[in-house]
Amino acid sequence: MVLAIIPARFGSKGIRRKNIVDFCGKPLIQYSIEAAIKSKYIDEILITSNDDDVIELAFGLGINTSYRRPDELATDSASMVDVIKHALEWFKNKRNQLPDSIIILQPTSPLRISSDIDNALRLFKQGKLKSLVSVHKVSEHPYECVKSGYENWTYLEYPKQDVFRRQDYEQNFFFINGAIYLLRTDFFLENNTFVDKGRSFLFEMPKERGVDIDTPLDLEIAKSIFLSNHIN
């Protein structure tokens, strides 16, 4: 079975009550919940939250909300690995089993839709993968990005040859956007990580659906994309 886990703790520094902030007529988290509900391959949905408003909203959308995240796992410093492990432990105690796979859907990715989830799950199952993470192509090309020390700077990536047009750049640079983390449960529990270099499959999705909302500017950009593309 595939268990979707949606983490949504109370509190946020960048945007107050971010998980339930209005996003084009709905609370932000509702988009992730509805995308999970519409998925063809997700069997159950678990909300890990200590926020009464989030729990009430999820219940109203038909989600079993008997699980509540403990406050010590809802702080700024709490590890997301520990958050997911605690939710899985609760699930195992209640169901006497663990799910075969987990898919983590962060509420801050409201433009990710059910077809993105299903395409990722289809690839995951067909390829018999252990770990998958969503990515999109970067906008700022690494050949034009720099990293700086106290006195010196260097390019993030050097081209293999002189290139002057953007279309001549290698297009193999991606950003892990956080919209989808998909793992075999045993792989996650053994490795305590969501992304493992060399073993996590990169699932490319359109950049406009991979926006991650962390700041008020991110929120306005995501709203503009939503309204211009009629994503639903």
Better pLDDT: 139 or 159: 139
For 47, 93, 123, the CA distances from 30, given in Å and listed in that order, are 11, 27, 25
Q: Is the model's pLDDT at 231 over the cut of 60?
A: no
Q: How many CB atoms lie within 10 A of CB 114?
A: 17
- High-pLDDT (> 90) share of the chain, %: 75
Q: What's this model's pTM, rounded to 2 decimal places? A: 0.90
Q: What is the residue whose two structure tokens read 């909302």?
A: 213
Q: Is the model's pLDDT at 232 over the cut of 60?
A: no
State the pLDDT at residue 10.
Answer: 81
Contact 107, 8 (CB under 8 A): yes
For 169, 172, 194, the CA distances from 190, given in Å and listed in that order, are 38, 30, 11
Contact 19, 107 (CB under 8 A): yes
pLDDT band at 155 (very low <50, low <70, confident <90, very high): confident
Superfamily classification of domain 2-137+173-229: Spore Coat Polysaccharide Biosynthesis Protein SpsA; Chain A (3.90.550.10)
Q: In the numeric block, which tokens belong to residue 32?
A: 């992730």
Domain boundaries, the chain: 2-137+173-229, 139-172
For residue range 8-18, list pLDDT tens digits in order: 988 777 788 89
